[in-house]
Amino acid sequence: MKKTRIITLAALTIICILLTSFAGCAVETSSSANETVPPETTEAALNIEVGGLLEDGILQVGQEVGYPPFEYYATDGETIVGFDADLINAIGDVLDIEIKTIDTGWDGIFSGLDSNRYDVVCSAVTINAERKETMDFTQPYIENWQAIVVKKSSAPITSVEGLDGLKVGYQGSTTSDEYLADLMNTNVLDCETSSYDKILQAFDDLKLGRIDAILCDSTVADGYLSREPEEYNISWNQSSEEGAEAETFGIAVKKGNTQLQEALDAAIDVLKENGKLDEIKNEWF
């Protein structure tokens, strides 16, 4: 059951101060925030003056739309759905701003942020030390682990060492790519690897038997399993390893864009407080 709490006046005042003091810029494309707004979020929006937060009150969002369950196109081929889509739209509702999404390839998504093509990246971005050198992040909004997915009919792989000698797929330029490369470079594994531009392609090849397993985010694995439980099996999850630490996802903002970062943090606090963030998690995972 959804747990509802009262949003404090202090929390709303903090957001007001942050928003009215910030001035920024925005660029291209379109997609509106959700029309159906929960009562708690409506209350927050009505008490916030956006002021000069963004040009025309629009938040430009970079996403790689092809990474279910975080962001992908619905069956109409136009509507963007998924966890991150719902999250950023809920943030838009709290801040009373329009959301415009720019679909971009993962390999260039951070350079687009740096060149002001969009204001933020909300696309299952892992917060790590290397990325924090060139961009800033909001507070984490979800935890993630590495996971191995196999076909339901395949023998389970109960440890990462079980990938040895197999054909393993992953999405390039991701933490899964880095994790697998480290295992290969330290001679923990010797396997045939296949890098994909989109994780969708890896799951297609797994289904067709072209690869034996996929190494991916546990949150992605959960999403595929929830939609096709008869097709896939999460054979191993990094959380089972002693001493393993979870990755965390956050919204990336341009380095030094502190006021926008803090405004987004305040909005995430509201979504935590009113139960909306948990509601979105339960919807997609």
pLDDT at 27 over 60: no
Choose from 30-34, 56-60, 207-211 the range with maximum mean pLDDT. 207-211
Predicted pLDDT at 57: 77
Tens of pLDDT, residue by residue over 110-161, are: 999 999 999 999 999 999 999 999 999 999 999 999 999 999 999 999 999 9
> How high is the pLDDT of residue 37?
46
d(CA 249, CA 120): 13
Q: Give the pLDDT mean for 173-186.
A: 95
Residue 238 pLDDT > 70: yes
Delineate the domains of the chain, giving CATH numbers in brackets: 9-143+249-284 (3.40.190.10), 146-240 (3.40.190.10)
What percentage of the chain's residues is helix, strand, coil (to nearest 5)? 40, 20, 40
Residue 52 has what pLDDT?
55
Contact 118, 102 (CB under 8 A): yes
Q: Give the rounded percent of residues in the chain with a pLDDT score beyond 70.
A: 81
Mean local confidence (pLDDT), 22-43: 43
User: In a 3-state reduction of DSSP, which class is residue 243?
Assistant: coil
| Helices 258-273/276-284 angle, 10° precision | 80
Place of tokens 């929390």: 11
> Higher confidence at residue 59 or residue 5?
59
Q: Write down the pLDDT at residue 56.
A: 76
The closest of 284, 252, 238, 17 to 131, measured between CA atoms, is 252
Is pLDDT at 217 greater than 60 in this prediction?
A: yes
Give tens-digit pLDDT for 54-109: 767 799 999 999 999 999 999 999 999 999 999 999 999 998 899 999 999 999 99
Mean pLDDT of the chain: 85
The residue ranking higher by pLDDT, 136 or 32, is 136
Q: Which residue has the higher pLDDT, 54 or 164?
A: 164
| pTM (2 d.p.) | 0.78
